[in-house]
Amino acid sequence: MIETPFKFKKFILYHQKSTLKVGTDAILLGAWAFTENAEKILDIGCGCGIITLMLAQRSNATIDAVEIDFNSTEEAKRNAEISEWKNRINIQNISFQDFIKDKKEVYDLIVSNPPYFSNSLKSNDLNKNLAKHNDSLSYKELASGISKLLKTNGKATIILSKSESKTFKNIALENGLYCNKEMEVFPKTGLKSNRLLMQFEKQKLEPEIKKISILDSNNKHTTEFINLCKDFYLNF
């Protein structure tokens, strides 16, 4: 099989072996997460490494990334190694639960594009089930782990389906994490929103709520989406 990388403006990404390929959710998260002054970043469930590399491009931070799937981890390591930021990236094939055991280090920014299907039909592909269903990493484990590893003034950014976001926000609140910033994502102008970008912090602030449509009524990318992602997509 010929491997064809996905080309961005400043890096290329192989994703054929990863359980989840390059997708809009990851690009939205990598472009939206607040990286200013971040020195240490953690990417939970990095897949092929797309968010890790986007955050490396947008910051001067040292980035740790964890991924439970072996093939995805190997591909993420390959993508990091051929990037200009390889010396700032550390990728581990480990579950988040094992990663946080005895972990003393804390982070300025934690990001995750987590599994978001609960109690739904599964495929016959075990690796895809690990990537898409939250059996292997529950929202409670994710939220409590983030709370443990996040600096007092740090930020955690998550993207979830609209239907799952309320559940996660409630669990996050139980773990001392307040959703202070949201971006409601509409796949197309005129359609219902289907994703929610959320920024959590340990201090409660007045919530900032915004909206973004990916496509307009003519199936063209909106100005807002182009402005958010213009540093990455070749055609923007």
In this structure, are residues 156 and 150 in contact, taking their beta carbons and an 8 Å threshold? yes
* C-alpha span between 35 and 141 (Å, rounded): 24
Quick one: three-class SS letters along 113-166?
Answer: CCCCECCCCCCCCHHHHHHHECCCCCHHHHHHHHHHHEEEEEEEEEEEEHHHHH
Which residue, 161, 156, 157, is CA-closest to 187? 161
Mean pLDDT of 50-75: 97
The H or E element that residue 18 is part of is none
Q: Is the pLDDT of residue 121 over 80?
A: no
* C-alpha span between 5 and 53 (Å, rounded): 14
State what percent of residues in the chain have pLDDT above 70.
91
Q: Is the pLDDT of residue 141 over 90?
A: yes
Q: Is the pLDDT of residue 133 over 70?
A: no
Q: How many CB atoms lie within 10 A of CB 182?
A: 17
* C-alpha span between 71 and 33 (Å, rounded): 26
Q: Is the pLDDT of residue 123 over 50?
A: no
- Whether this model's pTM surpasses 0.75: yes
Question: pLDDT band at residue 131, thresholds of 50, 70 and 90?
Answer: very low
Question: pLDDT band at residue 132, thresholds of 50, 70 and 90?
Answer: very low
Dump pLDDT digits (tens) for 70-110: 999 999 999 999 999 999 999 999 999 999 998 889 999 99
Looking at every residue in the chain, the average pLDDT score rounds to 91
pLDDT at 163: 92
Dump pLDDT digits (tens) for 151-205: 999 999 999 999 999 999 999 999 999 999 999 999 999 999 999 999 999 999 9
Delimit the domains of the chain by residue range: 6-229
pLDDT at 98: 96
13-22, 116-125, 147-156: range with lowest mean pLDDT? 116-125
Q: Is the pLDDT of residue 1 over 90?
A: no
Mean pLDDT of 213-230: 98
Q: Is the pLDDT of residue 232 over 80?
A: yes
pLDDT at 126: 45
Q: Which fold has domain 6-229?
A: Rossmann fold (3.40.50)
State what percent of residues in the chain have pLDDT above 90.
83
Q: Is the pLDDT of residue 37 over 80?
A: yes
